[in-house]
Structure 1
């Protein structure tokens, strides 16, 4: 009797073990086979963020929002980098959505109301409406993209009665944040008080020349635009960044002003997630309150 009971328990243990292993394999397969946009959806859901489809100016935008502090009437808007416009530097990607959403990881750490605002034709919308490949290659920072991003953001600002808005852009998302804060587009978002960039492409012409890329012929360049004195700017760069070197940031600040900080041990992607909680608490939050 005892031996038979022991054998049955072993058999049950083996079955449960195989079942758990099977589930793990299945989940791994689902994750591996899912698209970058689907993985973004899963991550944002895990972070407690609500998926939205916003109509901008001629484009739809996927966005994720989390209103943690409605009483603050503040909104931190996170804009992701360029993702994967090209594959291997030779072929235009069919889906430019990033596989490593660093800006989404930053948004997760933010206790303020947050909006992760997607670009036109990204995050599963590459075949939506008027989308075509130019909107993630030569026209990725175009007037059309900038206007639509601003219009989509204005919807959320109005919906949640936001009174103070901060744009936070990583890499190419920093380029778009600066374009949205320029003299031409800032009036669309009258609540805009501050812009924070991390490893941002602020001198597009110099970046293209350095890497010998094809010119972004249909794009705007933050270096060439004007900015009002009513918006506070803070730029972060890594001393080890060989994609967008600190010299580009210094040239931009020399021309346009703004606060900046260069971190000795950081590069283009490292170590912004680790640094972000302290930067938020000590610098970003106070920056957004300067103009009040």
Structure 2
């Protein structure tokens, strides 16, 4: 089982706690400066009605592009009130992408993230609350993914999504024919089941991957055994209907220890190619 590759790292998390990820304070300028120092370039992605942050790091020509999709972003001040700005303080999907040593790696932010104050006023809070997985969001993300793939000169995609980014990665894999691998981390893949179990408000206007077609890509879904935000049972419910493989990782919760153990998980994924 793949979880054995990360068991030692999970024990480190239990005993000593997890190292805090880099904090970029929700700033697009700081984020772009940080990644450009590490060999990334910014890709202009205007996928109406959204202006999305896209990043690409490529060291050689590659037929496959590994593309990371960010989570839902900044935490909610309360269960009833979304943040004023959804830009993540700790962009975990970006930090995971930075640790990926593949030849061609891309990162895609979510609608309304990484915007200026004036731009954010034009982006409805619905797109980081109940409509964050809506048809118009999916269409915009699909166009952005195609542009990043074109910029990389790739033919195939490996989609990696964290939390809500895993929901969008799954929705994309269900409608695209160029995805060879889908990987999700701590993702609420069955939205209605998730809101029912946690007694959350339904995500009106959002697409539920559970209702979509079975994706053709090979799929691996990681879940933290200690995750209280997205319990493993939610991913298990999705896998029971759509297939794919579910790996529950001991000692992991919604935030820990994805970044610390990502290199080991990547090695396991490469071993399965």
With structure 2 as the length reference, what TM-score do the two structures score?
A: 0.84
Which residue of 98, 106, 130 maps to 2:96? Answer: 106
Between the aligned partners of 2:204 and 2:58, the Cα distance in structure 1 is 38
Which residue of 137, 142, 148 maps to 2:134? Answer: 142
* 2:102 pairs with 1:116: no
Query: Which position in structure 2 is the counterpart of 1:223?
Result: 210
Is the 2:26–2:88 Cα contact (8 Å) retained in structure 1?
A: no
Distance change in 2, residues 1:85/1:273 (3 Å): closer
Between the aligned partners of 1:179 and 1:97, the Cα distance in structure 2 is 22
Query: Which position in structure 1 is the counterpart of 2:188?
Result: 201
Alignment of 1:1-292 (within 5 A): 35-70=26-61, 72-84=62-74, 86-112=76-102, 113-124=104-115, 127=119, 131-182=123-174, 185-186=175-176, 190-228=177-215, 230-283=216-269, 285-286=270-271, 289=273
Between the aligned partners of 2:52 and 2:160, the Cα distance in structure 1 is 17
The alpha-carbon deviation at position 43 of structure 1 amounts to 2.7
The alpha-carbon deviation at position 204 of structure 1 amounts to 1.1
The alpha-carbon deviation at position 257 of structure 1 amounts to 0.3
1:203-248 deviation per Cα after TM superposition (whole angstroms, max 9, x unaligned) = 11122223332221011111121123x3110100111111101111
The alpha-carbon deviation at position 85 of structure 1 amounts to 6.3
Between the aligned partners of 1:114 and 1:281, the Cα distance in structure 2 is 16
Between the aligned partners of 1:103 and 1:86, the Cα distance in structure 2 is 18
The alpha-carbon deviation at position 271 of structure 1 amounts to 0.8
Structure 2: where are the runs of 5+ without partners? 1-22
| Structure 1 outlier segments of 4+, above 4 Å | none
SS of corresponding position for 2:248: strand
1:261-289 deviation per Cα after TM superposition (whole angstroms, max 9, x unaligned) = 11111111111112211221221x355x4
Aligned CA RMSD, in angstroms, stands at 2.1
Is the 1:57–1:152 Cα contact (8 Å) retained in structure 2?
A: no
1:97-141 deviation per Cα after TM superposition (whole angstroms, max 9, x unaligned) = 111111111111111111110122111167369621111111101
1:151-185 deviation per Cα after TM superposition (whole angstroms, max 9, x unaligned) = 11101212322022111000111011011111xx3
SS of corresponding position for 1:175: helix
Between the aligned partners of 1:57 and 1:234, the Cα distance in structure 2 is 31
Structure 1: where are the runs of 5+ without partners? 1-30
